[in-house]
Amino acid sequence: MNPCIVSDPSICGGEPCVRGTRIPVHIVFSHLAAGEDYDTVLKHFPRLTHEDIFACLEYAAFLATEKVAPA
């Protein structure tokens, strides 16, 4: 997994966040899903980089490939 995405129980309750920030990955997704472009997201969160946004997208792709075992 991309080292830009970290999960630490002492930061945001262990939610996956962008390394070095308290910005949860799901917040970045929410802004992108709302139709904001990368530059707008970066204006809202000046500590983020383009690479951080790409890492969030890579994380989403990883989650989308997880398989659920039948019940």
For residue 71, the model assigns a pLDDT of 65
Task: State which residues form the domain around 31.
Answer: 5-64
Task: Decide if 70 is inside a domain.
Answer: no
Domain count for the chain: 1
Task: Decide if 45 is inside a domain.
Answer: yes
Domain harbouring 55, CATH code: 1.10.10.10
pTM of the predicted model as reported, rounded to 2 decimal places:
0.86
How many angstroms separate the first and last alpha carbons of the chain?
27
Residue 45 to residue 23: CA distance in whole angstroms: 8
- Residue pair 62/24 in contact by the 8 Å Cβ criterion: no
Residue 56 has pLDDT above 70, yes or no: yes
Residue 40 to residue 22: CA distance in whole angstroms: 18
Task: Decide if 71 is inside a domain.
Answer: no
Task: Decide if 24 is inside a domain.
Answer: yes
- Residue pair 6/40 in contact by the 8 Å Cβ criterion: no
55 burial (CB, 10 Å; 0-12 / 13-18 / 19+) is: buried
Give the mean pLDDT of the chain.
93
